[in-house]
Chains A and B, each alone.
Chain A
Amino acid sequence: MILAGEHFLNGDVACAEGAIAAGCRFFAGYPITPQSEIAERMAYRLPRIGAHFLQMEDELASMAAVLGAVWGGVKAMTATSGPGFSLMMENIGLGIMTETPCVVVNVQRGGPSTGLPTATSQGDMMQARWGTHGNHEIIAYAPSSPQEMFDLTVKAFNTAERYRLPVLIMADEIVGHMMERVLIDPDKIEVFARRKPTVPYEEYVPYKPGKDLVPEMACAGEGYRVHVTGLTHNELGYPDMTVEAQHRLINRLTQKIRKNIDQIVEFEEEGIDEAEVILVTYGINARASWRAMELAREKGIKVGMLRLITVWPFPSEPIAKLATQVKGFVVPEINLGQMVLEVERAAAGRTVVRLVPHAGGGIHRPEDVLAVIEEVVG
């Protein structure tokens, strides 16, 4: 079932294969560039393993169908881009409120609106964080290669099950379409099974949290007769429209992520201990920035890189610590300043934070990133 071995794949196909390796058995989606290869791969693969691919009438329906499938007892995913991500926001909120584990992939393209359908962007980073209404926490990964499209999709499924919420993969057109070597070793793939109740029906309280603030999940037809609602609810799952119920529920949904932030947050470091300038990068922008780092080092500038693997939750603490030891952070983004706001917030004025903006459609020239590094070191 798992595509094992060494392959030459584009990021979209690697993502689909990662989902299957993680146990995904339902995919619902709507055609949109540049994620189409994910849906097409799923349409080809899923019926061959007794699973279901469903092309829905729109992204609203795709996201709703994914949630339904999860409550039907399987692992499920959808993938989209730009405008489709906007349409999914409504039911991502339902997924957060009802604590429905699933994976949503956004292969980002230029926006707003129809924008640049076939060209890259990182313009949806804040939408990923705050796109659906109401106060909430989210988990989002930013892959920077086809290999990571595979690995982080597996991880996203596991994180979704562990913390019971929709987990986002914030990819982009270049990572989705670039072809690279992808190594898949089934023995090294860990899959986190859904947390099921073990108590009898009479004792089961659907939204009673465990120690880590995450409740166990009973799906349809398993004998637990659960009521699931997007309304504010009590531990029984019943609507409870009171200040107290809202306080309890929204705090728990937030705290289950915040309290486990050390287990969730991941980033990669390169030469940051000696660095006078640190590049804070994520996704495809890390690739151009890597070259800029090399060019700067050739010039004798001590540059390090902190590459975000989880963009949300944001690793504020490590950034805050590094802020006291560097001359500045340089943040290249294929947008006009989104994650840089988080870096500024964490640095809190203790050091210089400089954005290297790009409006989208392509990636930074390493020279442009280098120029900002040079400005920071003076």
Chain B
Amino acid sequence: MRRIKTKPKPEIIEDVHHPLERYFRKERLPHIWCSGCGLGTAMACLAYALEELSLGLDDVSIVSGIGCTGRLAGYMRSDSYHTTHGRAIPFATGLRIALEMQKPDHKVIVFSGDGDLFAIGGNHFIHAARRNVDLAVFCVNNFNYGMTGGQVGPTTPLGAYGTTAPYGSFENPFNLVYLAASSGAPYVARWTTLHSRRLKQAMMEAIMKPGFTFVEIISPCPVNYGRRNKMPTGLVEMRYYQRKSVIRNFADPKEAEIKPEGEIIVGTFVDEDKPNYFDIYRHFVEQMIGEG
């Protein structure tokens, strides 16, 4: 008879505090993510970024869509919104615009996965980048649909395996940084969860920069993606990203396509100043009021 392994319950040690614990809903931990997943690292980077920016829990809202990354909002102890599949960005757009009328310094961060933001939510992404509303969008890209069991998605590299691509993916993936840059985002970066210090720095820059900012976070998903693509553990998948990633700041995003066996270019791709949605709105409204 096969033995069923149960996950050991973590021991809670009273009176020992993690320096970041105020950022999390401790009562909801442990989280649901698999061992070897990069989401814990990504969430920790966000908490470190908020701490370093001295942003309090009432200064930020986190909005997620659906999927593994979608659960992140539920662990952060700020106002947090777990919305519908693909609609995190339009929800966040409404939220941010409403806050502009009352608390204009409030930061809205969208944290969601590659399937959520670029398949079902792809249209919202490009329009939000074009519109340039003040949102920081962090996409955890693990190259597949993890929550539903490892189906291929819009970022799966050509030929990679998934439960809906048993012979390898037949489709060309999106190059997310190129898509973001060409849609008009004034800040675009890509890091892996291995680059945690640089990832935190990129999150800080993205949060503070006015307008629509985008950070792609390449993350291991050993249970659903790695396992089917010769990277059976988180460690093996992280080693792969370590071996393949090359830091090249301000590289042409068009050249940053992720190909099977090719290198993964990481770094800041775009960091430019341009008027955001609110700047333009104020300009036109002031002009209109001036004209009476």
Which of A's residues lie within 8 Å of B, judged by CB?
A: 25-26, 28, 47-48, 50-52, 54, 56-58, 60-62, 64-74, 76, 90-91, 93-94, 219-231, 238-239
Chain B 191-231 per-residue mask, 1 if CB under 8 angstroms from chain A, else 0: 00000000000000000000000000000000000000000
Given contacts A67-B91, A221-B106, contact A227 B98 (CB under 8 A): no
Q: Are B84 and A94 in contact (CB under 8 A)?
A: yes
Please report the C-alpha to C-alpha distance between residue A47 and residue B83 in the assembled complex, in whole angstroms.
28
Contact A227:B80 (CB < 8 A) given known A66-B94, A69-B95, A74-B101: yes
Q: Which residues of B contact A227 (CB under 8 A)?
A: 25, 73-74, 79-82
11 more CB-based (< 8 A) A-B contacts, given A61-B127, A221-B106: A47-B288, A48-B289, A61-B87, A65-B90, A65-B94, A67-B94, A68-B95, A71-B81, A73-B101, A221-B99, A239-B74
User: Contact between B127 and A73 (Cβ–Cβ < 8 Å)?
Assistant: no
Task: Evaluate contact between A72 and B57: CB separation under 8 angstroms.
Answer: no
Report if B61 contacts A (CB, 8 A): yes
Q: In the complex, A222 Cα to B89 Cα: how many Å?
A: 21
CB proximity of B267 to chain A, nearest CB, Å: 30
A91: B residues at CB distance < 8 A: 84, 87
Taking a contact as CB atoms under 8 Å apart, the answer to whether B106 and A64 are in contact is no
Instruction: Please give, as numbers and ranges, the residues of chain A lying within 8 Å of B25 by CB-CB distance.
Output: 227, 238
* Residues B90 and A61 in contact, CB atoms below 8 Å apart: yes
Q: What's the minimum C-beta distance from A273 to chain B, rounded to whole angstroms?
A: 48
Chain A residues lying within 8 Å of B57, measured Cβ to Cβ, are 225
Min CB distance A166 to B, Å, is 13
B204 to chain A, nearest CB (A): 20
Q: How far is the CA of A312 from the CA of B89 in the complex (A)?
A: 31
Instruction: Verify B103–A221 contact, CB threshold 8 A.
Output: yes
Q: Which residues of the other chain, B, contact A74 by a CB distance below 8 angstroms?
A: 98, 101-102
Task: Count how many pairs of residues, one from A and one from B, have CB atoms less than 8 Å apart in the complex.
Answer: 156
A29 to B26, CA, bound (A): 39
Contact across chains for A54 and B82 when beta carbons are under 8 A apart: no
B256 in contact (CB, < 8 A): no
What is the minimal beta-carbon distance from B56 to any residue of chain A, in angstroms? 10
Q: Fill in one digit per residue for B96-108: 1 if any A CB lies within 8 Å of its CB, else 0.
A: 1111111100100
Lowest 6 A-B CB distances belong to which pairs?
A: A72-B98, A68-B94, A65-B94, A61-B90, A69-B94, A68-B95
Distance from B55 Cβ to chain A, minimum over Cβ atoms (Å): 12
CB pair A73 B78 closer than 8 Å: no
Q: How far is the CB of B66 from chain A (nearest CB, A)?
A: 8
**In the complex, A47→B100 CA distance in Å?**
13
B123 within 8 A of A: yes
| Smallest beta-carbon distance A46→chain B, Å | 10
Contact check: which of B78, B86, B95, B101 meets A25 at CB < 8 Å?
B101
Q: For the complex, give the distance between the alpha carbons of A354 and B234 in Å.
A: 67
Q: List B residues at the A interface (Cβ < 8 Å).
A: 25, 28, 57-59, 61, 63, 73-74, 77-84, 86-87, 89-103, 106, 123-124, 127, 281, 284-285, 288-289
Across the interface, do B94 and A231 meet the contact criterion of CB distance under 8 Å?
A: no
Q: A74–B28 Cα gap in the complex (Å)?
A: 29
A297 to chain B, nearest CB (A): 50
On whether the beta carbons of B81 and A26 are closer than 8 Å, the reply is: no
With a cutoff of 8 Å between Cβ atoms, the chain A residues found around residue B124 in the complex are 57, 60-61, 64
Residues of A within 8 A of B90 (CB): 28, 56-57, 60-62, 64-65, 68
A70 touches B98 (CB 8 A): yes
Could you tell me the distance between the alpha carbons of A28 and B80 in the complex, rounded to whole angstroms? 21
Contact of B95 with A72 in the complex, beta carbons under 8 Å = yes
**What's the minimum C-beta distance from A19 to chain B, rounded to whole angstroms?**
15
Whose C-beta in chain A lies nearest to the C-beta of B81? A228
Other-chain contact of A68, B86, B98, B127, B281 (Cβ < 8 Å): B98
Point out the residues of chain A lying under 8 angstroms from B28, CB to CB.
238
A and B contact pairs by CB, cutoff 8 A, 20 listed: A56-B127, A57-B124, A60-B86, A69-B94, A69-B98, A71-B81, A71-B95, A71-B98, A72-B94, A72-B98, A72-B102, A73-B99, A76-B98, A94-B87, A220-B79, A222-B58, A228-B81, A228-B82, A229-B74, A230-B82
Q: How far is the CB of A125 from chain B (nearest CB, A)?
A: 24
Asked whether A76 lies within 8 Å of B84 as measured between CB atoms, the reply is no
Contact present for B81 and A68 (CB under 8 Å): yes
A94: which B residues are within 8 A, CB to CB? 83-84, 87
CB distance from B146 to the nearest CB of A (A): 17
A64/B94 contact (C-beta < 8 A), A47-B288, A57-B127 known: yes
Closest to A226 in B: B79
Cα distance A238–B82 in the bound complex, in angstroms: 10
Please name the residue on chain A nearest to B278 by beta carbon: A52
A residues in contact with B63, CB < 8 Å: 68
CB-based contact B80/A228 at 8 Å: yes
Whether B74 contacts A64 by the Cβ 8 Å rule is no
- How far is A230 from B81 in the complex, measured between Cα atoms in Å? 9
CA distance A51 to B281 in the complex (A): 11
Could you tell me the distance in whole angstroms from the C-beta of B123 to the nearest C-beta in chain A? Answer: 5
